Structure 1
Amino acid sequence: MHWTQMKKDELDGQYSPSRWSRRMSADDVIEAHKKALKEGTERARGLAQTLLNVPYGEGDGEKLDVYIPRTNSLDVPLVIYLHGGYWQFLSKEESGFMAVPLVDKGVVVVAVDYDIAPKGSMDLMVSQVRRSVVSVVQQYSHISGLYLCGHSAGAHLAAMVLSTDWSQYSVTPQIKGAFLVSGIYDLLPILSTYVNEPLKMTEEVAVRNSPSKLVPQLKLSSSSCRIIVALAENDSPEFRKQSEEYYKTLEASGLNVTKEDVADTDHFNIIEQLVDGEYHLTKLLLKTMGRS
């Protein structure tokens, strides 16, 4: 059934990722998720050299954390992580976890904060993550490669970064690879769901900020980027469809894109496991960066 034919409660259910986990109840899986990300981030802060609360703009929420490997080499790849939380939860304080296996391999990890709703609007969040990438490129001009990783709402924001018209900015970031994990690429279905209550998006705002509608711009800006669209086996059918349709659209445009359907994962542990160097997506990320 197409989302336009679904009743509100049905659509709410499709866009409630916690209801689809087979590991635990909806409330428990969210609590466990926050705990796992927080613990992973604390571990990363113990392992890496860190620069915390680095401003990338004027706003209070426009800060990032940098996790630096203990290496003298200047030839280091850098991955920017954009957190999930439906544009209304989480922060960079739970977003350093993937540095645990990556700093060991000489990779810099940057976790970005943006103003979540209701303080931040969708237009503002998109503008902030774009500016954060520009700021990172300006501060770390010597890196060997720039990569993006985003989960859920963060995958949406990462896809929006790939679809940026950089002519309006002072630099044009050369993004080599992007990992889009369990993302949303068409915002129209969530307009009438509970998700939009704090966001207050209109149809115009949703269309303007839907990566699925911006593929021609992505092709202009990020044609050489290797894009991995990852989806969880136990995500909702509607979430899986979002990833599959976006992947097909990118593939049809001739872009360098692959799809990773990750077995035995749900919306939450598909990203939590990036704390583990032996996890399939961690290995793929390292391989993409030439660090396996």
Structure 2
Amino acid sequence: MSADDVIQAHMKALKEGTGKARALGQTLLNVPYGEGDGEKLDVYIPSTNSLEMPLVIYIHGGYWQFLSKEESGFMAVPLVSKGVVVVAVDYDIAPKGNMDLIVSQVRKSVVSVVQQYSHISGLYICGHSAGAHLAAMVLSTDWSQYSITPQIKGAFLVSGIYDLLPIMSTYVNEPLKMTEEVAVRNSPTTLVQQLKSSSSDCHIVVAVAQHDSPEFRKQSEEYYKMLKTSALNVTLEDVPDTDHFNVIERLVDEEYHLTKVHLLLKMMGKC
């Protein structure tokens, strides 16, 4: 398949998974978390009378320039049936959004969710590719600048990008227009000490696909080592028989490795 065909197939798979999730039960769509047009989220709610439900925030990938919450509900398929609330977050993709804005929006979405769902039993965060980068940036937030400090119990970072400098000279940066200064301040690898102070109690899983590109594998392994060296609670999960795209697509499949040993569910004590 050509690169364009791979991306189109990926978008189709995620969209179909999101359709399945929306058919499962109650949803709240297009909930604003800010005043901007792109500052909206979707909520997938389990059928349960319990108020003490864990909640997962999912942040989509797409190199910060495609995909949206409309393809991000698929995560709810294996989770809602286990009594987990799933929130899919939108942000202003490039070129409308730049890296500083996107990171700020995602952080703001987490604050909004915590304020709206203060009764949850635990907050977890998950992201794929560029979304894993954004999830890592959430973990590295200086929450003293915000009205609330979210207590994030677990993070699931799948095939992420943690150092933005290598992509500055690639086509990915054309719509983002990052300078070196912007890339450095938005690279999780430069913010490990901040993460250590803000998310020391969080269990972090760095997952990478067996057939991810060498750069993705290298970045995941290096970021894991940095977190481990900082004495953080971190696990590296090398997912067999997967590539950069189906490593996340297949979470709708009950027989899939990550679904069977679903690390988010394990964190929550749900399996």
Q: Same fold (TM over 0.5)?
A: yes
**Residue number in structure 2 paired with 1:111:** 88
* TM-fit CA distance, 1:207: 0.3
**Distance in structure 1 (CA, Å) of the matches to 2:20 and 2:254:** 14
**Distance in structure 2 (CA, Å) of the matches to 1:249 and 1:94:** 32
Verify: 1:152 aligned to 2:129, yes or no.
yes
**Residue number in structure 2 paired with 1:291:** 270
**Residue number in structure 2 paired with 1:34:** 11
Matched-pair identity in %? 85
**Distance in structure 2 (CA, Å) of the matches to 1:213 and 1:114:** 23
**Residue number in structure 2 paired with 1:122:** 99
Residue among 163, 184, 189 paired with 1:207: 184
**Residue number in structure 2 paired with 1:190:** 167
Q: Secondary structure at the match of 2:255?
A: coil
The C-alpha deviation readout for 1:42-98, integer Å capped at 9, x for no partner, is 110000200000000010000000000000011210000000000000000000001
Alignment of 1:204-243 (within 5 A): 204-243=181-220
**Distance in structure 2 (CA, Å) of the matches to 1:133 and 1:278:** 31
The C-alpha deviation readout for 1:89-117, integer Å capped at 9, x for no partner, is 00000000010111100000000000000
**Distance in structure 2 (CA, Å) of the matches to 1:172 and 1:122:** 22
Q: Which amino acid aligns with 2:28?
A: L
TM-score by length of 2: 0.98
Q: Which amino acid aligns with 2:16?
A: E
Q: Secondary structure at the match of 2:236?
A: strand
Range moving further from structure 2, 280-289 or 50-59 = 280-289
Q: Which amino acid aligns with 1:220?
A: S
Q: Secondary structure at the match of 1:32?
A: helix
Residue among 45, 61, 65 paired with 1:88: 65
Q: Which amino acid aligns with 1:131?
A: K
Relative CO higher for 1 or 2, CA cutoff 8 Å, sep ≥ 6?
1
Q: Any runs of at least 4 consecutive aligned residues in structure 1 with deviations exceeding 6 A, and if so which?
A: none
Q: Secondary structure at the match of 1:97?
A: helix
Q: Which amino acid aligns with 2:164?
A: L
Q: Which amino acid aligns with 1:201?
A: M
Q: Structure 2: which 5+ runs fail to align?
A: none
* TM-fit CA distance, 1:276: 2.0
Q: Which amino acid aligns with 2:195?
A: L
* TM-fit CA distance, 1:267: 0.3
Q: Structure 1: which 5+ runs fail to align?
A: 1-23
Residue among 109, 112, 122 paired with 1:132: 109
Verify: 1:71 aligned to 2:48, yes or no.
yes
Q: Secondary structure at the match of 2:81?
A: helix
* TM-fit CA distance, 1:27: 2.7
**Distance in structure 2 (CA, Å) of the matches to 1:28 and 1:210:** 29
Alignment of 1:240-255 (within 5 A): 240-255=217-232
**Residue number in structure 2 paired with 1:5:** none
**Distance in structure 2 (CA, Å) of the matches to 1:50 and 1:277:** 22
Q: Secondary structure at the match of 2:74?
A: coil
